[in-house]
Amino acid sequence: MVDKMLAEKKETLIKYLIRTGHLKTERIIRAFRNVPREVFVPTHMKDYAYVNEPLPIGEGQTISQPLTIADMTEALEPRPGQKILEIGAGSGYQAALLAEIVGDKGRIISVERVKKLAEEARQRIKKLGYKNILIVVGDGSVGYVKEAPYDRIIVTCAAPAVPEPLKEQLKTGGIMIIPVGSWLQEIFKIKKTNSGFEKQSLGFYQFVPLIGKYGFSP
C-alpha cells in the first residue's frame, strides 16, 4: 500500500514538473520515473520523498528539491555515453539520475567531502545495481583529475567563484552547471569554447556551501 501511495505521489510530482516546464526532455523525464527518490532520503522521511522541497540527509547536508534538480539536469544537457563529474554526491540521487541518462557506455564520477555520506551513497547505488557510478571521497573544489576531461560537470553546492580546476577539467564544448554565491546563490550554465567560456544565468537558488581549497573554508 505504501509503495502504491509513493508511486502516485511520484507521478503527481513528475506531471507537475512537466506541466510547469521544469522537466522537458524525454530521457530526463524517464530517469526521474526510473530512479526511486525514496531510497535516497532517510527512512523516516520516505513519505516526503516526492514533496517538492529539499530534505535533510544528515551531516548538515540536504537532497535538493525536485524542481531544482530538474532545472539543473535539464540545463546540463546530459547525453548517452558521456562522462560526467558531479561535485557533491550527497545522497547519491543526482548521480543515479545521470547514470540512467548516460547509460552503460557513460560514466558518472561523484566527489563527496563527507565520508559517511559517500559510503551511504555507495550502498544505495550498489543496492539499485548501477555499474557506471564511481563515488570518491575528497575535496570537490579541485575536481577529480584522474578521470578528466569531462563532457559535463555539475556542482550541487555553492562556490564563492567558479573553481579553476573545474574549468580545466571540462572538455572544450562541454557544459558546467554551478551555483555561485555566499547566501542566495546564482546558478550559472558555463560552456567551454575554443576561445574561452560563455556564461548564462539560470536564476537564484539556495544551496549548502562547497567546502575546500577553491570553495569556502570549513
* CATH assignment of the domain containing 159: 3.40.50.150
Is 136 among the domain residues? yes
Predicted confidence at residue 177, as pLDDT, reads 98
Catalytic residues: 64
User: Which region, left, alpha or beta, applies to residue 169 given φ > 0 means left and ψ of -120 to 50 means alpha?
Assistant: alpha
Number of domains in the chain: 1
Q: Which domain holds residue 133?
A: 2-205
Burial of 161 (0-12, 13-18, 19+ CB in 10 A): exposed
Q: Residue 134 domain-assigned?
A: yes
pLDDT of residue 1: 45
User: How far does Cα 85 stand from its chain's mean position?
Assistant: 9
**Residue 218 located in a structural domain:** no
Residue 7 lies in a domain: yes
pLDDT band at 78; cut points 50, 70, 90: very high
Mind listing the pLDDT tens digit for each residue in 89-135?
A: 999 999 999 999 999 999 999 999 999 999 999 999 999 999 999 99
Look at residue 157 and tell me whether its pLDDT is greater than 90. yes
Tell me the pTM: 0.95
Q: Is residue 121 part of a domain?
A: yes
212 in a domain, yes or no? no
Decide if pLDDT at 2 tops 60.
no
Contact between 161 and 179 under an 8 Å Cβ cutoff? The reply is no
Residue 217 lies in a domain: no
Per the domain annotation, does 213 fall within a domain? no
What is the spatial distance between Cα 118 and Cα 135, in angstroms, rounded to a whole number? Answer: 7
Give me the residues paired with residue 109 across strands. Answer: 85, 134
Residues contacting residue 29 through CB under 8 Å, at least 6 positions apart: 14, 18, 23
